[in-house]
Structure 1
Amino acid sequence: MCGRYSFSKKKVPQEHRFTSKLEGLVFSPNFDARPSQQMPVILPEAAKAMMATWASPEKEPDGKPTLPFNVRQENLLYIPRFRELLPRHRCLIPVDGFFEWKELEEEEEPEAPAPAPAADLGLDLFGNPIRSKEEKARSRKPKPRKQKYRFTLKNEEPFGLAGLWRESLNPGTGELVAHFSIITTQANNAVQPYHDRMPVILTPQSEEIWLDNSLAEKQWYHVLQPYDAKQMKVMAIDEAESIWGNYVAPALNSK
């Protein structure tokens, strides 16, 4: 799964393969990109990248999103609306990192003393005992604490994620609007301790294959593989700081 990522044009080296594609494209650095936001995408046979919205708000008759924020690699050839996009609507999403969260193991707390007997507040309309605010608060389970993790390449250079894109008509303006989705695959050894899915990261060579419309389906589908875990790194980060691009260690280390 990939529900957040980061990308800043300022972090793209001048000699990087994305530089010419992004030239002239105006957008703000986004250190916590999420579905519904506009981000750059690179299309086959296009000299320049374009801005597109992550995920489509449109729904299918069965209520499922026409283009969700993630598409499982295993479903590409079996779900008709995705299969129809594959021949001419593959794209590359430039990023410099993506994020996952993991629940922290909570330390066992000493058993609290038994609460005093509750005052009798009578019954509600359904015959259930009416509980006080204090009782409701005690019975509420606290939300589990989660640690945010950032995944990058070891060399910390920007990289490309495999994706699909499509255009739809904005009913309000009558304009065509582009949307994109990130393709996910099984997690490699670097990501697996945090999540069982990961975005498809493409190497520079597999990017060329993925964006080549002259190749056969078997050739570009073959590049949708888990990335080499040895070429990646992960770090626990402070969530509040990371939204501003400050990838610092959290105050409390994860377990």
Structure 2
Amino acid sequence: MCGRYSFSKKKVPQAHRYADKLEGLSFTPNFDARPSQQLPVILPAAQKAIMAIWADPTKLEDGKPTLPFNIREENLRFIPRFRELLPSHRCIIPVDGFFEWKELDDDQEQEGPTEESTANVALDLFGNPVRSEAEKKRLKKAKPQKQKYRFTLAQEEPFGLAGLCRESLHKETGELFPHFTIITTKANEAVQPYHDRMPVILTPHSEGIWMNNRLQEKDWLSVLTPYDARQMSVMAIDEYESMLGNYVAPKLNSK
């Protein structure tokens, strides 16, 4: 989950706690941020935010990615290679919203082959329908329709997600470059109807704990909890418009 989010520095008020961190950092507003892209992250000991790549797909010996695009907060306790990152590789990922998709009801989904449409299809010796290559491709592409939803704080102000950031070899240049992952927790009441997981949203108070290098593991782990659902908003949006930064309700879209 949380494989997409949005962030624009233009939406960070000058009085916001992130404003000084982001000052001087040049990046294009991203309304469809996704793994493999370079995005701003805030580190505990750095005065300014840096650009880092979301996730490192380089495979380990066991075939798993070096740094996946998200990590369950439960796994920080039990997977050594993630737990070892806690003392000095914590970070905050500034965002102004994140996205999830949910399949529409059956009566709204794209129709697949029906009994009527397959009645005259020839069958092979095993009783399977014999279809042309074009028909096979059409059916393969037919997928249930999904509605895109945007999750924000109630006042739509920028907020931070808990993450881990470490340097890894850039696969194209062979140079060390920061990569980050987002930590997830169980969904709160606002997100649960759409997904059973959500990113760890930090309050200004919990940000102070998460970024404090003088604290201990138990303190950092204590803030990795579901955010207060009463402080969040969710809305259905148009998929295409949202990637342009226009959060238009589907019924208002004229396409």
Alpha-carbon distance change, 106 to 223 in structure 1, aligned in 2, over 3 angstroms: same
Matched residue type, 1:55: A
| Correspondence 1:212 to 2:212 | yes
Name 1:65's counterpart in structure 2: 65
- Equivalent residue runs for 1:217-228 within 5 Å: 217-228=217-228
Q: TM-score, normalised by structure 2?
A: 0.90
Name 2:175's counterpart in structure 1: 175
How much has 1:57 moved relative to structure 2? 2.2
Matched residue type, 1:113: E
Q: Deviations over 1:161-217 (max 9, x none)?
A: 000011012365342111000000000000000000000000001001101100111
Say whether the 8 Å CA contact 1:66–1:81 is kept in structure 2: no
CA distance in 1, matches of 2:127, 2:161: 53
State which drifts further: 5-14 or 217-226: 217-226
| Correspondence 1:113 to 2:116 | yes
How much has 1:246 moved relative to structure 2? 0.1
Q: Secondary structure at the match of 1:77?
A: helix
CA distance in 2, matches of 1:144, 1:92: 35
Name 1:37's counterpart in structure 2: 37
Matched residue type, 1:244: L
- In the alignment of these two chains, the number of paired residues is 248
- Equivalent residue runs for 1:1-255 within 5 Å: 1-107=1-107, 113=116, 115=118, 117-119=120-122, 131-133=130-132, 136=136, 142-170=142-170, 172-251=172-251
CA distance in 1, matches of 2:138, 2:95: 43
Q: Deviations over 1:132-159 (max 9, x none)?
A: 3287579768310100000000011000
CA distance in 2, matches of 1:172, 1:114: 49
Say whether the 8 Å CA contact 2:101–2:148 is kept in structure 1: yes
Say whether the 8 Å CA contact 2:122–2:129 is kept in structure 1: no
CA distance in 2, matches of 1:53, 1:244: 21
Q: Secondary structure at the match of 1:14?
A: coil
Alpha-carbon distance change, 227 to 139 in structure 1, aligned in 2, over 3 angstroms: closer
CA distance in 1, matches of 2:230, 2:158: 17
Q: TM-score, normalised by structure 1?
A: 0.90
Q: Secondary structure at the match of 1:76?
A: helix
Alpha-carbon distance change, 117 to 146 in structure 1, aligned in 2, over 3 angstroms: closer
Bigger radius of gyration, 1 or 2? 1
CA distance in 2, matches of 1:80, 1:142: 41
Alpha-carbon distance change, 232 to 138 in structure 1, aligned in 2, over 3 angstroms: closer
Say whether the 8 Å CA contact 2:151–2:232 is kept in structure 1: yes
Q: Which runs of 5+ in 1 are unaligned?
A: none
Matched residue type, 1:234: V
Say whether the 8 Å CA contact 1:38–1:52 is kept in structure 2: yes
Alpha-carbon distance change, 4 to 130 in structure 1, aligned in 2, over 3 angstroms: closer
Say whether the 8 Å CA contact 1:89–1:166 is kept in structure 2: yes
Alpha-carbon distance change, 144 to 213 in structure 1, aligned in 2, over 3 angstroms: same
Alpha-carbon distance change, 117 to 151 in structure 1, aligned in 2, over 3 angstroms: closer
RMSD between aligned residues: 2.5
Identical residues among aligned pairs (%): 70
State which drifts further: 161-170 or 84-93: 161-170
